Structure 1
Amino acid sequence: MKGALLVAGTTSDAGKSVVTAGICRWLARQGVRVAPFKAQNMSLNSFVTADGAEIGRAQATQAAACGIEPTADMNPVLLKPGSDRRSQVVVLGRAIADVDAMEYGAFKARLRAVAVESLERLRAEYDVVICEGAGSPAEINLRAGDIANMGLAQAARLPVIVVGDIDRGGVFASLYGTVALLDAADQALIAGFLINKFRGAPELLAPGLDMLHGLTGRETYGVLPWLDGLWLDVEDSLALDNRPAQPYRPHSLRVAVVRLPRISNFTDIDALASEPGIVVRFVRSAAELEDADLVIIPGSRATVSDLGWVRETGIAQAVQERAAAGRPVLGICGGYQMLARTIHDDIESRKGHIDGLGLLPATVRFTAEKTLARPVGTAYGHRVAAYEIHHGVVTVDTATPSRPFLDGCRSGSVWGTTWHGALENDAFRQAFLADVAATAGRPFTPAPGISFAEFRAARLDALGDLIEQHVDTGAILDLIENGPPRDLPLIHPGGAR
């Protein structure tokens, strides 16, 4: 078979990424050569491909669902917000500019061509390409410059299914309204709907689904039930707000992750979920650190700005007091930079010289050239494969006593590294956690035989199962091969057809 499909959504975090991954996984299990694609992604969770290109983490996970290596063509345009108004623009894996929303408009024509060319290359190499939209196609204020939703669908003549999150409420209104706000040419490509995150008996939805069909002339191809644990490798920090807080248990190893305003690559923490006896919380206050055995300061797209927030909230003082008391702290990438003595930044924040938290004997200098790499090293006697994405270059002061830790260092109970993904290495992760537990004085022993790769594969299989069991897969195959049904009715705002 040959073809493509665009999975759009009524909102951000409606489930586009997981539905796309699920369709990819299901097709791959049928022996189809399939690849994922997202023309434009806005995310602070990114990944480095084997040839050193930076793409959205969600597309790397979708590639894993397909059983293939990720490439820059799978996410040709990546926007990484550094503030509420400015984002770094990454094109085919390389940062080219830092712009505000108005300045970005000047790039749109060029980027649309880049996106279409990337999709064409993928379609030439693979039998099927499952595309993921961005935000909502009904963001009509942005339609003229759209390259990720209906702009892409028009350029590549893609059939579109729209995913609605029923857990948010108002799913029928949002599905209907998404179609009704589009012009006739765009509506002609909207083939139908999927409802996501349903809790209860699907029969209860039948009257609404019938009315939606009557109003739009479009089918609902499936109702996906709520399934816990599908937050793996999400692309949007909004998903953290929907992740339930786990209660600390008496014999668990308790991990508190600082929820920075511009938190990036928080997927580094996902591997901890594969370990029985580990409880992870994302926290925003100093008080929430008190009963944690390990505090992690994760990556940040705005290191200096987020360091200011860490100080304002009192978290900085709490972390310094923990370190003085010999209680474990881990900094990853931006978090590592915050733990250094000094930061010199004329690139990201342009604030010049800034004092760090002073917990590691290191200095940081930001450079214009971004480091993108897939390093391999050894720690605790085990091989560690990871990836790097950073402008800040950390130099460890060798005159001050410290111990090596991956590419960074350890001083007392404080560890720091720029390497993302290190915790996904099972033997290293368990040795590190055992050291943390011993340092914290906790009676915790990692369970043997845990494989994060198998944990992730099981999650991807669960997504494939969702599609296979709850979606009209025959109709999806027909859309992929033949495009949207002909003569779909035009919906006018107000309900007239």
Structure 2
Amino acid sequence: MRDVRGAVLVGGTGSDAGKSLIVAGLCRAFARAGVRVAPFKAQNMSNNSVVTPDGGEIGRAQALQAYACGLEPSTRFNPVLLKPGGDRRSHVVVRGRPAGDVGARDYLERRSALAGVVADELTALREEFDVVICEGAGSVAEINLRDTDIANLGLAQAADLPVVLVTDIDRGGSLAHLFGTTAILDHADQRRIAGYVINKFRGDPTILEPGTRRLAELTGRPTLGVVPFADGLWIDAEDSLAVPVGRRVGPPAGAGAVGPRLTVAAIRLPRISNSTDVEALACEPGVDVTWVDDPAAVAAADLVVLPGTRATVADLDWLRRRGLADAVVARAEAGRPIIAICGGFQMLGRSIEDAVESAVGTVDGLGLLDLRVRFDAEKVLRSAHGVAGGHRVTGYEIHHGRVEESTESPWVADDVTGPEGAACGAIRGTHWHGLLASDDFRRSVLTWVAATVGTSGFIADSGIRFDDVRAAQVDLMADLVTAHVDLEALAEVVCTGVAADVPVITHRLV
């Protein structure tokens, strides 16, 4: 595979088909083979983002894919990012920088103007790397959006890319989804579909084989791979808006140390951002992390995490209407541990002055921390490093809110900006995302939680490095695609591009 050159678009029959992880696995597999490979997603819709070394912002999935390639995250890999907020509007990030807010209809008009940005970035990547593996957005069959599409077949047409379709068989109906997605496209777009990958398969592949054989007869296209469902694959690279309530974060249930355990309830806010902050906690043996949205779960957990949000004021109102705000206040008054990150941290103050995200003016916070927050039009975007609890820590900041008039003790001593966050009673809060990925610091936090709630015998000295866990997850995905996808056939698709003799499916009314 060392001589392979070209690009391919990995599209989906729908959202959450597993495109992001398939692309990450392919990136790692190609990189292992000595191919200079890079990821690309023209347009992502996600509140799960990271800060690049040059101070830009991209979807976290593309950062993980870059990691799989052995590259630093770059705004080149995700030139357009949409961050949904309230009132059907989204914050637009172009080449890593804020570019205003738009509604759905406004963006349809604006998207055409972004096509040039996308084309320029992809062209530059193709000149620099042997292979560029592009990820589509949602379903490639959104024919209502085709005229202004810059992420799926619009991109494939503009850049002359072959397309591999991924479907999630765990949801059922995947063979019909592959056929129907292909058939609904116009003939020019159909000819770009080179083959299929079936994801998350459980069971005996020989039982599926008659279906894939018939699919090939009907469409003239091969199934390039059937990737099995993997219990051990848990890091969430998916840039979907939905983080399911009740979903357990971390290795399969029962994995890890035997003995006293800690329970962590991560509150699933409606407009949650950077939901992956809790993954570092979940990698520790003896720590069970679950997404929750009910007061009883907040009351019962050893630790509650109040995460970031794209709409702080709106989600604070939701917290109150659900009875979760009262549960959080009761925890604080009872001295039970709470960790609040970014928007969640801002909610705990006395007031929030917001003329930027919600434009509602000043609202009361939960009053658990003696600080005031004011939103500024200019977004803070930066990588951060400093000291917390006597340990070196790193993280990144993505927020409009600034803390003002705080009397609280800081949780972090930032090397550049000085005091950051707050440590008050059983509350720990910060604007830093990724703080808990600092290994020694994370374990000191868990030791503090265990001591605070009286869980004797809990030992937080696993020696686990979160970066090793992340690498193992990417390697697992690469192992899966290497074992279950015909990479030589895929390399041929990448090299030869769109085949001239690919058949089309003609619609007939009977």
Q: In structure 2, what is the equivalent of residue 115 of structure 1?
A: 118
- Within the candidate set 270, 294, 297, 1:261 is matched to 270
Counterparts of residues 142-181 of structure 1 (less than 5 Å): 142-181=145-184
- Is 1:490 the counterpart of 2:497 in the alignment? no
Q: In structure 2, what is the equivalent of residue 279 of structure 1?
A: 288
- Within the candidate set 59, 62, 66, 1:59 is matched to 62
Root mean square deviation of aligned Cα? 1.7
- Is 1:100 the counterpart of 2:113 in the alignment? no
Q: In structure 1, what is the equivalent of residue 221 of structure 2?
A: 218
**Distance (whole Å) between structure 2 residues aligned to residue 239 and residue 468 of structure 1:** 28
Report how far residue 413 of structure 1 moved. 0.5
Q: Quick one: which amino acid aligns to residue 367 of structure 2?
A: G
**Distance (whole Å) between structure 1 residues aligned to residue 483 and residue 286 of structure 2:** 32
Give the match's secondary structure for 2:23: helix
Report how far residue 396 of structure 1 moved. 5.0
- Within the candidate set 49, 68, 87, 1:46 is matched to 49
Q: In structure 2, what is the equivalent of residue 469 of structure 1?
A: 483
Structure 1 residues 250 and 291 mapped into 2: Cα distance closer, same or farther (>3 Å)? Answer: farther
**Distance (whole Å) between structure 2 residues aligned to residue 404 and residue 396 of structure 1:** 16
Report how far residue 404 of structure 1 moved. 3.5
Native 8 Å contact 2:246 2:292 kept in 1: no
**Distance (whole Å) between structure 1 residues aligned to residue 475 and residue 166 of structure 2:** 20
Give the match's secondary structure for 1:240: coil
Q: Quick one: which amino acid aligns to residue 278 of structure 2?
A: I
Superposed CA deviations along residues 151-189 of structure 1, whole A, max 9, x for unmatched, are 000000011000011010110111001111111111111
Q: In structure 2, what is the equivalent of residue 235 of structure 1?
A: 239
Structure 1 residues 320 and 127 mapped into 2: Cα distance closer, same or farther (>3 Å)? Answer: same
Native 8 Å contact 1:234 1:267 kept in 2: no
Give the match's secondary structure for 1:167: helix
Q: In structure 2, what is the equivalent of residue 364 of structure 1?
A: 373
Native 8 Å contact 2:284 2:464 kept in 1: yes
Native 8 Å contact 1:215 1:495 kept in 2: no
**Distance (whole Å) between structure 2 residues aligned to residue 385 and residue 277 of structure 1:** 24
- Is 1:453 the counterpart of 2:470 in the alignment? no
Q: In structure 1, what is the equivalent of residue 409 of structure 2?
A: 402
**Distance (whole Å) between structure 1 residues aligned to residue 42 and residue 246 of structure 2:** 26
Counterparts of residues 185-200 of structure 1 (less than 5 Å): 185-200=188-203
**Distance (whole Å) between structure 2 residues aligned to residue 219 and residue 493 of structure 1:** 21
Native 8 Å contact 1:254 1:292 kept in 2: yes
Q: In structure 1, what is the equivalent of residue 416 of structure 2?
A: none
Report how far residue 240 of structure 1 moved. 3.3
Report how far residue 210 of structure 1 moved. 1.0
Report how far residue 426 of structure 1 moved. 0.4
- Is 1:24 the counterpart of 2:27 in the alignment? yes
**Distance (whole Å) between structure 2 residues aligned to residue 23 and residue 13 of structure 1:** 17
- Is 1:376 the counterpart of 2:385 in the alignment? yes
Give the match's secondary structure for 2:133: strand
Give the match's secondary structure for 1:436: helix
Native 8 Å contact 1:396 1:408 kept in 2: no
Native 8 Å contact 2:350 2:370 kept in 1: yes
Q: In structure 2, what is the equivalent of residue 124 of structure 1?
A: 127
Structure 1 residues 186 and 170 mapped into 2: Cα distance closer, same or farther (>3 Å)? Answer: same
- Is 1:434 the counterpart of 2:441 in the alignment? no
Report how far residue 242 of structure 1 moved. 8.4
Structure 1: 4+ residue segments shifted above 4 A: 244-250
Q: Quick one: which amino acid aligns to residue 278 of structure 1?
A: V
**Distance (whole Å) between structure 1 residues aligned to residue 410 and residue 383 of structure 2:** 22
Superposed CA deviations along residues 431-456 of structure 1, whole A, max 9, x for unmatched, are 11111221222222213311111001
Report how far residue 403 of structure 1 moved. 4.5
How many residue pairs are counted as aligned between the two chains?
A: 494
Q: In structure 2, what is the equivalent of residue 347 of structure 1?
A: 356
Report how far residue 244 of structure 1 moved. 4.6
Tell me whether 97-106 or 141-150 shows the greater mean CA deviation: 97-106
**Distance (whole Å) between structure 2 residues aligned to residue 495 and residue 207 of structure 1:** 27
Tell me whether 51-60 or 226-235 shows the greater mean CA deviation: 226-235
Native 8 Å contact 2:15 2:139 kept in 1: yes
State the TM-score, normalizing by the size of structure 2. 0.94
Tell me whether 145-154 or 234-243 shows the greater mean CA deviation: 234-243
Q: Quick one: which amino acid aligns to residue 366 of structure 2?
A: L
Q: In structure 2, what is the equivalent of residue 75 of structure 1?
A: 78
Superposed CA deviations along residues 184-233 of structure 1, whole A, max 9, x for unmatched, are 11111100100000000000011111110011000000000001243413
Q: In structure 1, what is the equivalent of residue 430 of structure 2?
A: 417
- Is 1:310 the counterpart of 2:319 in the alignment? yes
**Distance (whole Å) between structure 2 residues aligned to residue 452 and residue 359 of structure 1:** 31
Give the match's secondary structure for 2:25: helix
Superposed CA deviations along residues 37-75 of structure 1, whole A, max 9, x for unmatched, are 000000010000000000000000000000001111100
- Is 1:86 the counterpart of 2:89 in the alignment? yes
**Distance (whole Å) between structure 2 residues aligned to residue 143 and residue 229 of structure 1:** 37
- Which 5+ residue runs of structure 2 have no aligned equivalent? 414-419
Give the match's secondary structure for 1:134: coil
**Distance (whole Å) between structure 2 residues aligned to residue 495 and residue 271 of structure 1:** 54
Report how far residue 7 of structure 1 moved. 0.2
Q: Quick one: which amino acid aligns to residue 403 of structure 2?
A: V
Structure 1 residues 5 and 243 mapped into 2: Cα distance closer, same or farther (>3 Å)? Answer: farther
Report how far residue 493 of structure 1 moved. 3.2
**Distance (whole Å) between structure 2 residues aligned to residue 239 and residue 216 of structure 1:** 34
- Is 1:295 the counterpart of 2:309 in the alignment? no
Superposed CA deviations along residues 365-399 of structure 1, whole A, max 9, x for unmatched, are 0011010000101011111111000011123523x
Report how far residue 362 of structure 1 moved. 1.2
Superposed CA deviations along residues 238-266 of structure 1, whole A, max 9, x for unmatched, are 35358458879972111000000001101
Native 8 Å contact 1:82 1:301 kept in 2: yes
Tell me whether 56-65 or 225-234 shows the greater mean CA deviation: 225-234
Give the match's secondary structure for 2:411: strand
**Distance (whole Å) between structure 2 residues aligned to residue 239 and residue 337 of structure 1:** 21
- Which 5+ residue runs of structure 1 have no aligned equivalent? none
Native 8 Å contact 2:160 2:498 kept in 1: no
Q: Quick one: which amino acid aligns to residue 411 of structure 1?
A: C
**Distance (whole Å) between structure 2 residues aligned to residue 270 and residue 253 of structure 1:** 15
Structure 1 residues 116 and 403 mapped into 2: Cα distance closer, same or farther (>3 Å)? Answer: closer
Report how far residue 143 of structure 1 moved. 0.6
Structure 1 residues 495 and 421 mapped into 2: Cα distance closer, same or farther (>3 Å)? Answer: farther
